Structure 1
Amino acid sequence: MTTADLTPNPTSRRVRANGDGTVYQRKDGRWEASGYVLAPGSTRKRVSVYGTTRTDALAKLTEKIAASNRGVAVVTAQGSLAAYLTYWLENVAVHHLRETTHTRYTAVVAQYLIPGLGRKKLAKLTAKDVRTWLNELRTVCQCCARGTDARRDPNAQASRRPRCCALGHCCRKQLSPLTLAYIHSVLKSALEHAVREEEIPRNVARNVRTGTPRPRRFNPLTADEARQFLTAAQGHRLAALFELALRTGLRKGELLGLRWEDLDLDAGTASIRRTLQRTRSNGLTGLPTKTISSERRIALPAPCITSLRGHRERQAREMAQAGPAWRDNGYVFTRLDGHAIEPATLTRHFNALLREAHVRPIRFHDLRHSTATLLLEQGVELVVIKELLGHAHIGVTATVYAHVRLRLQRQAIDLLGHALGNLTDTTAEPDDGDDPPLCAAPVR
């Protein structure tokens, strides 16, 4: 045997460079890759990731090392939940959520999750910890817990003076079941990502049941109230907007985000492509629709086409009167200087119009509920209403308007009872079956 036969072949094993970490197969068949990454506090920590194949484990480790080289601290399961939530918001959720949703998530994390569970270790968080904290949050007065009342000025206006804990009694301002469910869902979303990154074995928040909150009550307008509202809106500068809201069920942001290029008045259609909302970074800006199903094309009623033509002529006169001060942004509904309308400003106009029309106070979003309710009462198919409102699933439409469908069922049963009449009455003429059945109202 020659010396060359005893020399090991350098290509027989793969040698990884310094800093690339190590990778090997465990006894349970999984592959484990380990390496050093940047940790919170400008320290370096050795982390391990796992995969079903060698390539899978190396890909996960390479992703963590690349993020570490960019200066992003990798949070491990040994760190606190507060550190992980901060990392999740700044590096994960910001790329997958709408800006308005990310702002709400950030507020929930800062106000509730970090003060309540932030000191817990991510690896040691249990379902009992989450359930106990939610039960405490359900019974604690938020005015006392956050010290809102203590910061109020006693010499300020009556609406801003101390009225709770600072005066020695508690107002018991507790969180609603919907808010508790939302807080719980944010925690579940954050821990679900930790499971996907294999930082923790399971999502303990999923094992906690908060109960199904009751759906929010809404007060749709009746047919008489709707006619009264439309009559009062005829002389308003934004009459076309209010009529479009009630006749088509568009959301407030969708109405304010409409551009003239989205309307085809000759064909009588409108394309819903964006929603106008105020964001923290860009202010009042146009964003994509709420869901993919919300981006839709709807038919415009004939009265809306007429009012929109008149609104376009009014806007042309306002543009000529404003002159160089006009801001041409293409929106259908604008202020007198062409700028987009703030959603809060539209709400004030709407409330003033309700008082003028002598209609009971409702939310602007209740116009959308009024549209669906009135359509259902007229016997329109549920799938047609779902497409008009832009719901993602027909189950959403069926759930929200279940009370309307129950009332229609009762009307249908009463109609059937009227058709059958009194069975003991034998004086009625026999039916030979030649005449078509009576159809006084559609039954669906």
Structure 2
Amino acid sequence: MGSIEKRGKGSFRLSVVTGYDSKGKAVRERRNIKVKNKTLARQELAKFEAEILSGDYTRPTYTRLEDFYKEWTKKFAEDHFSPRTLREYINIIEKRILPQYGHLKLAEIKPMHIVDFIDGLNRGEKRLDGKEDPLSPSTIRNCYKAFNSLLSVATDFGLIKNNPAKNIKLPSPTRKKSVAYTKDTIDKMISSISEEPYIKQVMFWIAFVTGCREGELVALEDKHILEKKGAIRFEQSLTQLSGGELKIKSIKNGMDGTVAIPNELLKMILKIKSERKREYIMLRDRWYDPDRIFLFSDEEGKPMRPDSVSQWWSRFRKRNDIGEIRFHDLRHYSVTYLIQQNVPTKSISQRVRHRKIGTTMDIYGHHIEEVDQVAAGHFDVFFQQKNS
């Protein structure tokens, strides 16, 4: 049952009884509206009643965005984001979002606020370094993701009915410059890596053969080496917290999987696995983690940091004049090599644990097209026979 109260010129308050308390007093939901006349107010009242009866109504919250940000951090973000992503989002929220929108109540934030925010970033108005150029599409997307996370969680917590950041269109992402794949570069890397310490050689070959990431590589334990299957199981990654502590987390996008490896590489890995187990037995009381034997660790079982892999690789490629190839680029070299060997794209996608085959197509489509052109050339023989 609803009623209308005139509050002023063109202003009305809608009231709908939703039940009664223990003393028999009516419990009401109210909404202030601005319409021209009472007839239009009755129409709005009918909509308001239908919204409440259908269960779609969410009581407006008077929580400001800057206050909810503290709750978002404690009750959601710390458990759902990697330390690196969390630091990036906090920096964006505190330096870009709260100064402009922190004073607003959650219910006051509209899609147009998000559009204006993105537009300002796109025109370079919100740069923090004083430059006038627009921010890159990827940076703008990260800013949007941080804002969207705040409002999405507020929706999930029942503080607002709808997320105003949902369905906002963003600038098209810039395609990353593809890694210059050449056989000469691969040959030079393979020749140079043979001069490195044995454990570094194994790290290189695992990354090149499986396409794993740095964090996944240093998170490998003895249990992940499947000797009978001749494969490696990737199910976790290692990250370093701001205080220096190492933390095990799930694989990116939750895409764990098993990757087959050559028998010679398996032998190399088993040699390291045997050494780690021997060290574990000798130093069990002083072992870094009694429940884990990491393959790439120090003499007390503490695993290598992901960034230490990149640092070693940087020194290695400079010593051997290999060029601007990151350790992560071995993942791209692995995929490109398999494409040129005519391995089916679906198999490659599964091997590098992309969630969708479309991801593989988007990143490596130009290489796939090149191989496809070579494949088309094989049919020339039939047309040559026809012409002859």
**By how many angstroms is 1:359 displaced?**
1.2
Q: State the 1:298 CA deviation.
A: 1.7
Residues 244 and 85 (structure 1), Cα distance of their counterparts in 2 relative to 1, 3 Å cut:
same
Residues 1:302 and 1:129: Cα distance change in structure 2 (over 3 Å): same
Q: Is the 8 A contact 2:219 2:294 kept in 1?
A: yes
Determine helix, strand or coil for the equivalent of 1:119. coil
Specify the alignment match of 1:441 in structure 2: none
Q: Partners in 2 of 1:233 and 1:360 — Cα distance?
A: 14
Kindly report which structure 2 residues correspond to 1:345-360, keeping only aligned pairs within 5 A, or say none: 345-360=308-323
* Larger helix share, 1 or 2: 2
Write out per-residue CA displacement over residues 289-342 of structure 1, whole angstroms, 9 at most, x where no aligned residue.
Answer: 2233x2212212223112213334565787799998764640001135432111
1:250–1:389 contact (8 Å) kept in structure 2: yes
- RMSD of aligned residue pairs (Cα, Å): 3.6
Q: Any conservation in 1 of the 2:65–2:104 contact (CA below 8 Å)?
A: yes
More off after superposition, 402-411 vs 104-113: 104-113
Separation in 2, partners of 1:318, 1:357: 33
Matched, 1:377 2:340: yes
Alignment map for 1:2-401 (pairs within 5 Å): 16=21, 22=27, 52=54, 77-138=61-122, 139-140=124-125, 142-144=127-129, 172=132, 175-197=135-157, 199-206=159-166, 208-219=168-179, 221-234=181-194, 235-236=196-197, 237-280=199-242, 283-292=245-254, 294-312=255-273, 315=276, 327=288, 329-401=292-364
Structure 2: gaps spanning 5 or more residues: 1-18, 31-44
Which of 246-255 and 112-121 deviates more? 112-121
How far apart are residue 119 of structure 1 and its match?
Answer: 2.8
- Say if 1:321 and 1:207 are closer, same or farther in 2 by CA, change over 3 A: closer
> Letter of the aligned partner of 1:238 in structure 2?
K
Q: Measured at CA, do residues 370 and 17 of structure 1 come closer, stay the same or move farther in structure 2, by a change above 3 Å?
A: farther
2:148 touches 2:165 (CA, 8 Å); kept in 1? yes
Kindly indicate whether the alpha-carbon contact (under 8 Å) linking 1:24 and 1:31 is maintained by their aligned counterparts in 2: no
For 1:409, the aligned partner's letter is D
Q: Tell me the alpha carbon deviations over residues 115-146 of structure 1, each in whole angstroms, 9 at most, x when there is no partner.
A: 2322334333333332233232231474545x
Higher mean alpha-carbon deviation, 348-357 vs 191-200, is at 191-200
- Contact kept in structure 2, 1:273 and 1:296, CA below 8 Å: yes
Shift of 1:199: 4.0
Shift of 1:214: 1.7
| Larger deviation, residues 125-134 vs 401-410 | 125-134
- CA shift digits 1:383-439 (9 cap, x unpaired): 11111111111111111111111212222334434653497x6xx4xxxxxxxxxxx
DSSP 3-state at the match of 2:354: coil
What is the DSSP-based 3-state SS (H/G/I as helix, E as strand, rest coil) of the residue aligned with 1:206? coil
In structure 2, the residue matched to 1:46 is none
Is the CA contact (8 Å cut-off) linking 2:77 and 2:86 kept in structure 1? yes
2:12 paired residue number: none
Code of the aligned partner of 1:286:
I
Query: Offset at 1:28?
Result: 5.2
Checking the alignment, whether the CA contact within 8 Å between 1:275 and 1:289 is kept in structure 2 is yes
1:210–1:15 Cα change, 3 Å: closer
For the Cα contact (< 8 Å) 2:277–2:293, is it kept in 1?
no
Deviation of 1:208 (Å): 3.4
Identity %: 20
Q: Is 2:219–2:236's contact at 8 Å kept on the other side of the alignment? A: yes
| Farther-moved stretch of structure 1 (384-393 vs 100-109) | 100-109
SS in 2 for 1:205: coil
Taking a change above 3 Å as real, the CA distance of residues 364 and 22 of structure 1, as seen in their structure-2 partners, is farther
Tell me the alpha carbon deviations over residues 32-62 of structure 1, each in whole angstroms, 9 at most, x when there is no partner: 9xxxxxxxxxxxxxxxxx5636xx98xx99x
8 Å Cα contact 2:222-2:273 kept in structure 1 = no
Distance 1:21 1:272 in 2: 59
What is the deviation of 1:216?
A: 2.1
Q: 1:323 to 1:85 in 2, by over 3 A?
A: closer
User: Secondary structure of the residue that 1:291 maps to in structure 2?
Assistant: helix
Asked whether the equivalents of residues 238 and 333 of structure 1 are also in contact (C-alpha less than 8 Å), the reply is: no
Task: Give 1:96 deviation, angstroms.
Answer: 4.3
The DSSP-based 3-state class of the residue aligned with 1:334 is coil
What TM-score, normalized by structure 1, do the two folds share?
A: 0.68
How many positions carry a matched residue from both structures?
350
Query: Offset of 1:374 from its aligned partner?
Result: 0.8
